A and B are shown apart, each in its own frame.
Chain A
Amino acid sequence: DAGVTQSPTHLIKTRGQHVTLRCSPISGHKSVSWYQQVLGQGPQFIFQYYEKEERGRGNFPDRFSARQFPNYSSELNVNALLLGDSALYLCASSFSTGDTEAFFGQGTRLTVV
Chain B
Amino acid sequence: EDQVTQSPEALRLQEGESSSLNCSYTVSGLRGLFWYRQDPGKGPEFLFTLYSAGEEKEKERLKATLTKKESFLHITAPKPEDSATYLCAVQAWVSGYALNFGKGTSLLVTP
Residues of A within 8 A of B (CB): 4, 31, 33, 35, 40-45, 48, 55-56, 58, 88, 90, 92, 97-98, 100-107, 109
Contacts and interface: CB of A to CB of B under 8 A. Distances in A.
20 contacts: A33-B97, A42-B89, A42-B101, A42-B102, A42-B104, A45-B100, A55-B97, A56-B95, A56-B96, A90-B43, A90-B44, A92-B43, A92-B99, A100-B49, A100-B91, A104-B43, A104-B45, A106-B41, A106-B42, A107-B43
Interface in B36-69: 36, 41-46, 49
Contacts of A106: 41-43
Interface residues of B, number: 25
Given A33-B99, A92-B43, A103-B46, 12 more contacts: A4-B43, A42-B104, A43-B89, A45-B99, A56-B97, A97-B97, A100-B31, A100-B91, A102-B34, A102-B99, A105-B43, A106-B42
A42 B87 contact: yes
Contacts of A58: 98
A90 B34 CA distance: 17
A55 B32 CA distance: 18
Contacts, number: 66
Which of A41, A103, A104, A109 has its CB near the most chain B CB atoms (within 10 A)? Answer: A104
Contacts of A88: 41
Nearest to B104: A42
B46 A102 contact: yes
Contacts of A31: 97
B103 interface: yes
A24 B48 CA distance: 23
A35 B43 CA distance: 10
Contacts of A102: 34, 46, 99
